[in-house]
Structure 1
Amino acid sequence: MNKKSVLVFLITILYVFIGMDYSKCYCDDVSGGKKVLIIGSYSPANKWESSILQGFENSNDRYIAKTEFLDSKVLESKEYDEGFINFLNVKYKDSNIEYIITLDDEAFQLVRKNLFNENLFIYKKKVIYVGINETIFLTKDESEYITGILEYQYNLPIVNTILEASKEVSDIYLILDNSIYCNTIKEEFSKIIDKSEKPFNYHIIQETHFKDVKEKCKEIEDKRCAIYLCGTFKDSNKTDLVQPEDVINGIKEVTKAPIYTKLEEYVYAGAVGGIVNDGYKLGEVTYTLLNNIVEESFAYNVVPVRNTFSIPIFNYDAILEYDINPLRLPQNSKFINKNMFDLLLPKYLRVIVWTLVSLGILGIVGLIYLSIKNTKTARENKLLLIESIEREKIKTDFIVTISHELRTPLNIIINASNLLRIKSEEGDFDKEFFEKRLNYIIKNSNRLRRYINNLIDVNKLEMGYMDTNLKNENIVEVIEDITLTIIDLAKEYHLNVIFDTEEEEIITAIDKLKIERVILNLLSNAIKFTNDGGNIMVSVKREEDNVIIEISDDGIGIEEELKEHIFEKFKRADLNYGFKRQNEGSGLGLFIVKGIIDLHDGKIEIRTNTNKGTTFIIKIPIKLVSNVNKENFLGESSLKYISEMELSDIDKKE
Structure 2
Amino acid sequence: MKKGLLNYVTIIIILMIIILNSTTSIYAYNILGNNDKTLDILIINSYDSKNEWENHIITGFEEKLKEIKPKDLSLNIDLEYLDIRKRNDKAYLDSFNDLLNKKYQYKDIDIVFAIDDGAFEFVKSKVLNSQSVLYHKQILFTGVNNPVELTGEYKKYITGILQANTDQLFNLILYLQPNIDTINIIIDEFIYSNVIKKRVESSKSLFFRPVKINFIQSNYIEDIENKLKKINDKNQAIVLTGTFMYKSNKSHVKLKDIVNDIKTITDNPIYTNNYAYVFNGVIGGFVDIGEHQGSYVAKEICNILEGNKIEEGILPKSSGMYIFDYKQIYDYNIDILKMPKDSKLLNKPKYALLLPKPLKITVCIVFSLLILIVVYVVYKFIIEIKKSNKNKKLYERAKEREQLKTDFIVNMSHELRTPLNVILSTSKVAELKINTNNYDNKYLLGKLEQINKNSNRLLKLVNNLIDITKFEQGV
TM range (shorter): 0.5 to 0.7
Query: Secondary structure of the equivalent of 1:203?
Result: strand
After superposition, give the CA deviation of every residue in 1:37-91 in whole Å (9 maximum; x if it has no partner).
Answer: 1111112222211111111111123432222221222333322222222222222
Q: Is the alpha carbon distance of 1:138 and 1:304 closer, same or farther for their aligned partners in structure 2, counting shifts above 3 Å? A: closer
Aligned counterpart, 1:263: 274
Aligned counterpart, 2:118: 106
- The match for 1:122 among 134, 138, 148 is 134
Q: Is the alpha carbon distance of 1:115 and 1:195 closer, same or farther for their aligned partners in structure 2, counting shifts above 3 Å? A: closer
Is 2:361 aligned against 1:351?
yes
Q: Structure 1: how far apart are the matches of 2:275 and 2:296?
A: 19
Aligned counterpart, 2:239: 228
Aligned counterpart, 1:251: 262
Match runs of 1:165-184 below 5 Å: 165-184=176-195
Aligned counterpart, 1:238: 249
Q: Structure 2: how far apart are the matches of 1:107 and 1:115?
A: 12
Q: Structure 2: how far apart are the matches of 1:31 and 1:362?
A: 75
Letter in 1 for 2:112: I
Aligned counterpart, 2:59: 54
Farther off after superposition, 222-231 or 134-143: 134-143
Contact 1:221 1:257 in 2 (8 A): no
Aligned counterpart, 1:280: 291
> Structure 1: which 5+ residue stretches go unaligned?
1-29, 368-654
Is 2:146 aligned against 1:141?
no
Q: Is the alpha carbon distance of 1:332 and 1:139 closer, same or farther for their aligned partners in structure 2, counting shifts above 3 Å? A: closer
Aligned counterpart, 1:197: 208
Q: How many positions carry a matched residue from both structures?
A: 336
Letter in 2 for 1:320: Y
Q: Structure 1: how far apart are the matches of 2:332 and 2:308?
A: 50
TM-score by length of 1: 0.49
Q: Is the alpha carbon distance of 1:102 and 1:224 closer, same or farther for their aligned partners in structure 2, counting shifts above 3 Å? A: same
C-alpha displacement at 1:303, in angstroms?
5.0
After superposition, give the CA deviation of every residue in 1:142-188 in whole Å (9 maximum; x if it has no partner).
Answer: 22222222223x22222122122223111111111122222222222
Task: Between the two structures, name the one with larger relative contact order (CA 8 Å, sep ≥ 6).
Answer: 2
C-alpha displacement at 1:363, in angstroms?
7.2
Letter in 2 for 1:335: L
C-alpha displacement at 1:311, in angstroms?
1.9
Aligned counterpart, 1:217: 228
Contact 2:50 2:252 in 1 (8 A): no
Q: Structure 2: how far apart are the matches of 1:309 and 1:203?
A: 27
Query: Secondary structure of the equivalent of 1:101?
Result: strand
Query: Secondary structure of the equivalent of 2:142?
Result: strand
Aligned counterpart, 1:322: 332
Farther off after superposition, 282-291 or 294-303: 294-303
> Structure 2: which 5+ residue stretches go unaligned?
1-34, 70-74, 379-475
Q: Is the alpha carbon distance of 1:303 and 1:125 closer, same or farther for their aligned partners in structure 2, counting shifts above 3 Å? A: closer
Contact 2:65 2:299 in 1 (8 A): no
Contact 1:59 1:287 in 2 (8 A): yes
Q: Structure 2: how far apart are the matches of 1:171 and 1:282?
A: 31
After superposition, give the CA deviation of every residue in 1:545-573 in whole Å (9 maximum; x if it has no partner).
Answer: xxxxxxxxxxxxxxxxxxxxxxxxxxxxx
Q: Structure 2: how far apart are the matches of 1:228 and 1:129?
A: 25
Aligned counterpart, 2:319: 309
Match runs of 1:556-571 below 5 Å: none
Aligned counterpart, 2:16: none
Q: Percent identity?
A: 34
Contact 2:275 2:290 in 1 (8 A): no
Q: Is the alpha carbon distance of 1:86 and 1:162 closer, same or farther for their aligned partners in structure 2, counting shifts above 3 Å? A: same
C-alpha displacement at 1:287, in angstroms?
0.7
Query: Secondary structure of the equivalent of 1:148?
Result: strand
- The match for 2:300 among 289, 304, 326 is 289
Contact 1:74 1:240 in 2 (8 A): no
Query: Secondary structure of the equivalent of 2:312?
Result: coil
After superposition, give the CA deviation of every residue in 1:12-37 in whole Å (9 maximum; x if it has no partner).
Answer: xxxxxxxxxxxxxxxxxx99222111
After superposition, give the CA deviation of every residue in 1:609-644 in whole Å (9 maximum; x if it has no partner).
Answer: xxxxxxxxxxxxxxxxxxxxxxxxxxxxxxxxxxxx
Report the structure number with the largest CA radius of gyration. 2
